[in-house]
Structure 1
């Protein structure tokens, strides 16, 4: 997949030899490095407990590294805490919304928090609502929405911002086929405008088709990295599902079943 023209040579995300976790006595991540460039979609994959969520928390500045560093658009959290966090939008796996704010009010609050132009943000809000088939739900409260619709609200808020770095955790879960199609189109639009995307998912066929590069984590270590085709070649498999199984099995020093 050809990358859109990059606006800058500075990586949107640069993690260097990061060791971290909840306890210095038992780190979750061990010297993890990753880079995501503007306009690039990178898939972060691994088993449950591989360290994906911990890596994301370090990127967001919610955890302090034991060693190494994280930079977003060249800046560290220590350089400017508010600016660092404003350069990232995050969509968690489990939707988290304010119960007393409508969908429209959530998006207006997001636009205000990120200092977006009111006219352009209202226009983009309408476009996103149309893309995700949420126009009729703009006035609804979260308590009246299904889990899939709540997930759409989270995605719409993140895409409204179009930050240098967009982090999305399991975006396909709970979405209907048309919503997935709309999401993929919206992500392509965000990439074309220069946003970098780090996408964590267990839906490997989608990443096989869409990701520019993959980072495979296992037990806090990067065990493979590269384009989907190069990761499959490394594992000597023809699908990403099979390649992932082979890489994890090899990392554990075992043999594949079947």
Structure 2
């Protein structure tokens, strides 16, 4: 891929290979299917296969917390054009309710494994003049009570991506998707069912939670030729963000 000139979005990507970590469900599945829709060869790697096969997506078993296995996986690929570091997540856990080792495992999954995969993929990406897309979170840009280790890891991920973009330029572009609330098959665990989802949706300026396809479309854009001059950037995919709490607390503009 020639990164020197901007071109329209390339919807004919049959010669490209894309790896999506954690691409078996939720946001990861949405990203994998979005790339499959461009005609690319898409590999989804995770510890367990998807509950149902994803159209146009190949599954490869891989524990991303096993560096030798990660290096062997990428070394076996004939080529690689795009790496999407999506694997991650965390349960709700207040800091004082767990020991440091549990929080460290959250940081490992959300920060160290993307670094491990990126390093293992580097030579492929350098040869193809490819790109890395990190899947970050709004939790890394604001206080995250109940997921503090996760938020800290995602903040670190954005910084890692920005530094990587400088070190690996001009051969490899690196960008971050800063993702807000997404409606997935596990949304009820976070928001409390349909009523909870509806209530939370009303806090988003665009009036709804994202769906995985929204994140997938943004990832495809950042990896496309249309984004050839975008590197080291953070693209917010959060429906407009969050309404500042003080606006609801103030009495200055309320009707009397």
Same fold (TM > 0.5): no
Structure with greater strand share of residues: 1
Q: TM-score range by the shorter chain?
A: 0.3 to 0.5
TM-score by length of 1: 0.35
Name the structure, 1 or 2, with higher relative contact order (CA <8 Å, separation 6+): 1
TM-score by length of 2: 0.35
